[in-house]
Chains A and B, each alone.
Chain A
Amino acid sequence: MAFPWLSASILFPIAAALLIPFVPDQGDGKRVRWYALGITLVTFLLTVGGYLNGYDASNPELQLVERVEWLPDLGLAWSVGADGISMPLILLTSFITSLAALAAWPVTFKPKLFYFLLLAMDGGQIAVFAVQDMLLFFLAWELELLPVYLLLAIWGGKKRQYAATKFILYTAGSSVFILLAGLAMAFYGSAEGAPISFEYSQLMDKGMPLGFQLFCYAGLLIAFGVKLPIVPLHTWLPDAHGEATAPVHMLLAGILLKMGGYALLRFNCQILPDAHAQFAPLLVILGVVNIIYAALTSFAQRNLKRKIAYSSISHMGFVLIGIGSFSALGSSGAMLQMISHGLIGASLFFLVGATYDRTHTLQLDEMGGVGQKMRKMFALWTVCSLASLALPGMSGFVSELMIFVGFATDDAYTLPFRIVIDGLAAVGVILTPVYLLSMLREIFYGKENLELASHAELVDAEPREIYVIGCLLVPIIGIGLYPRLLTDTYRASMEALVARDESAMKALIAPSGGSLIRQLPLRAPMLPG
Chain B
Amino acid sequence: MPSAAELAWLIPVLPLVGAVITGMGLISFNRTINRLRKPVAIFLLSCVGAAAVLSYAVLAEQLAGAAPTEVLFNWASAGTFNLEMGFRVDALGAVMLALVTTIALLVMVYSDGYMAHDKGYVRFFTYLALFSSSMLGLVISPNLLEIYVFWELVGMCSYLLVGFWYDRDGAANAAQKAFVVNRVGDFGLLLGILGLFWATGSFGFEAIGSGLQIAMANGTVPRWAALALCLFVFMGPMAKSAQFPLHVWLPDAMEGPTPISALIHAATMVAAGVFLVARLQPVYEAFPEVNAVIAVVGTITLVLGATIALTQMDLKKGLAYSTVSQLGYMMLAMGCGAPVAGMFHLVTHAFFKAMLFLGSGSVIHAMEEVVGHEPVLAQDMRLMGGLRKFMPITGATFFIGCIAISGIPPLAGFWSKDEILGVAFGQFPILWVAGFFTAGMTAFYMFRLYFLTFEGEFRGGDRAMAAQLLTAAGKTAPDHDDHGSSHAHHPHESGWQMAMPLVVLAVPSALIGLLGTPWNSRFGQLLDPQEAIEAAEHFSWAEFLPLAGASVAISIAGITVAVLAYALHKVDLGTAVAARFPSLNAFLANKWYLDAINDKLFVQGSRKLAKQVLDVDSKVVDGVVNLTGLLTLGSGEGLKYFNTGRAQFYALIVFGGVIALVVLFGSLG
Contacts and interface: CB of A to CB of B under 8 A. Distances in A.
- Are both chains from one complex? yes
Interface of A: 162, 165-166, 168-169, 173-174, 176-177, 214-215, 218-219, 221-222, 231-233, 235, 278-279, 281-282, 293, 296-297, 299-301, 327-329, 331-333, 369, 371-372, 375-376, 378-380, 382, 386, 391-393, 397-398, 401-402, 404-406, 408-409, 414, 418-419, 422-423, 426-427, 429-430, 433-435, 437-438, 441, 444-448, 460, 466, 482-484, 487, 491, 494-495, 498, 510-511, 514-518
Interface string B166-183: 111101110110011001
A433 B179 contact: yes
Contacts, number: 205
Interface string B332-351: 00000000000000000000
B15 to A, nearest CB: 14
Contact of B190 (A369, A404, A447, A460): A404
User: Looking at A369, A408, A498, which has the most chain B CB atoms within 10 Å of its CB?
Assistant: A408
A215 B655 CA distance: 9
B153 interface: yes
Q: Which residue of B184, B195, B611, B614 has the most chain A CB atoms within 10 A of its CB atom? A: B614
Interface of B: 26-28, 30, 74-81, 83, 145, 148-150, 152-153, 156, 159-160, 163, 166-169, 171-173, 175-176, 179-180, 183-184, 186-187, 190-191, 194-195, 197-198, 201, 606-607, 609-611, 613-614, 617, 621-622, 625, 629, 633, 638, 641-642, 647, 651, 654-655, 658-659, 661-662, 665-669
Given A218-B659, A376-B30, A515-B668, A297 B179 contact: no
Contact of B669 (A397, A405, A445, A510): A510
Contact of B166 (A215, A300, A445): A445
A369 B167 contact: yes
15 contacts: A165-B633, A214-B659, A222-B658, A278-B665, A297-B610, A300-B614, A328-B81, A375-B30, A426-B191, A429-B190, A430-B180, A445-B172, A446-B168, A491-B77, A516-B669
Nearest to A371: B166
A437 B152 contact: no
Given A426-B191, A429-B190, 6 more contacts: A282-B665, A300-B614, A329-B79, A445-B167, A446-B167, A483-B75
Contacts of A446: 166-169, 172
A466 B27 contact: yes
B629 A166 contact: yes
A332 B638 contact: no
A405 B82 CA distance: 11
A507 B582 CA distance: 71
A392 B659 contact: no
B79 A391 contact: no
Contact of B169 (A214, A419, A447): A447
5 closest A-B pairs (Cβ-Cβ)?
Answer: A515-B669, A328-B79, A445-B172, A392-B149, A300-B614
A285 to B, nearest CB: 8
Q: Is the interface of B mostly helix, strand, loop or mixed?
A: helix
Given A176-B651, A433-B183, A445-B169, A392 B152 contact: yes
A369 B169 CA distance: 10
B614 A281 contact: no
A278 B667 CA distance: 11
A517 B191 CA distance: 19
Contacts of A398: 76
Contacts of B613: 293, 296-297, 300
A281 B79 CA distance: 21
Nearest to B617: A297
Contact of A434 (B80, B172, B606, B638): B606
A214 B662 contact: yes
A444 B176 CA distance: 13
Contacts of A418: 198
Nearest to B81: A329
A279 B660 CA distance: 11
Nearest to A432: B183
Contact of B149 (A235, A296, A372, A393): A393
Contacts of A405: 81, 83, 194, 197
Given A222-B654, A392-B153, A494-B78, A426 B190 contact: yes
A498 B79 contact: yes
A218 B169 contact: no
Contacts of A174: 651
Contacts of B172: 441, 445-446
A369 B78 CA distance: 45
B614 A441 contact: no
Contacts of B28: 466
Nearest to A275: B662
A300 B659 contact: no
Given A404-B190, A422-B191, A445-B166, A438 B76 contact: no
